[in-house]
Amino acid sequence: MPGPAAGTAHAATTTDVVCLGESMVTFLPSQPGRLADVPSFGRGIGGAESNVACALAAAGHRAAWVGRVGADGFGDHLVETIAGYGVDTSAVRRDPDRPTGIYFRTATDRGAGAHEVAYYRAGSAASAMSSDNVPYGEVFAGRILHLSGITAALSGDCLALLRELTAERPGRPLVSFDVNHRPHLWRGGDASVLLELARRADLVFVGEDEAEEAWGIVGAKAIRAALPEPSVLVVKRGSAGATVFSGLRPGPRSSNAGGAESGPVSRSAEGGGAESAPASRSTEGAGAGNAPDTVTHVPALHVDVVAAVGAGDAFAAGFLSATLRGLPVRDRVRHGHLMAAAVLTVPGDLTEPPARDHADRLAALDDGAWGRLRLGPGWTAADRAPEEVRTS
């Protein structure tokens, strides 16, 4: 697959973020219980990359989703629903021979022992994505290209595609990669390829739990040692919050500079002004050939959780949104937490994010107020001043 001409990838950019990956129709249970006992299901959509695109579009950014769906009713539903969020779906391809993937899940937390998911995605249209049928020009048309490890697990062609998209080349947009390790997708496979792909990205999201499960790596510092290449590494630590390692890396991956809302995005997380009252910030060595890291830790919010599904995608969307706006690291993480809190307080994978000025006010709280903040169902519609938000 030929790449774009050097220096032309951002010449006429009108898209902020392009997200590539599989989206599926999801069936949500009408009540708690085993799949065998649930009498009916409501239809929705689910897919890590399309979730990110929808959240970004709902937050006011220009987002595009690139994928492959079947020439069937479920494919129609996916494309129409995602487009309904304001996402550009013009680069989505229809497969006349393969179906759109679907899945059913229970209402319990994904991490709970009673949680069940039944996937019907083997041989799906998305699993046939390859360097031969993905519209390369559209994929590289944005300021950021967002990918995830789920795509790499779908097929050999999909893995080869991600290797191609993350290869170093002049004019490549900033590549964001969410590891998104799903154990059931890697049964009989080698999840170490996710480490390989992450090392080729500029911005990486990974959970401490998935790094341990996929690679046997324990702790944020050890994860950074295994991933020295990305300019920004976001280690999600569950209820403990998130730790960001940031430091400009040498090399030809991207010639972008800046971080303003209308310009190309910097590979460094340090643009956008001085940080205000960071929760925890330090400088650490990053290994030979790399500048020392700035390490920023931001505590998680207290959230009255309705359903713990889609929060990781929402966190990535919030962080990317703040990155596009050139905000400092602490605020990027806080916007990630806020976007995740919006999804955690609804039953499905997607919801309307808080208004930008509302989220900005909350992200600007001092550390004490941030630590006392508690968000529950309906908080995104309240749009109250910070001192009026329920705290404890």
Q: How many CB atoms lie within 10 A of CB 310?
A: 27
Is 304 a residue of the active site? no
Q: What is d(CA 183, CA 244) in angstroms, rounded to the nearest whole number?
A: 25
What sign for the dihedral angle of Cα 315, 316, 317, 318?
Answer: positive
Distances (CA, A) of 305 to 114, 239, 300, 377: 17, 12, 13, 8
Three-state DSSP at 237 gives: coil
Lookup: tokens for 302 = 């207290």
Three-state DSSP at 206 gives: strand
Distances (CA, A) of 218 to 206, 207, 222, 315, 326: 12, 10, 6, 22, 31
Those residues with Cβ within 8 angstroms of residue 278's Cβ, 6 or more apart along the chain or in another chain: 296, 298, 329, 330
Q: What is d(CA 67, CA 29) in angstroms, rounded to the nearest whole number?
A: 26
Of 178, 202, 313, 349, which is the active-site residue?
313
* First and final C-alpha spacing in the chain: 55
Question: Is the separation of the CB atoms in 44 and 71 below 8 Å?
Answer: no
Lookup: tokens for 64 = 């595009």
Those residues with Cβ within 8 angstroms of residue 293's Cβ, 6 or more apart along the chain or in another chain: 224, 245, 246, 247, 283, 284, 285, 286
Q: Which residues are catalytic?
A: 313
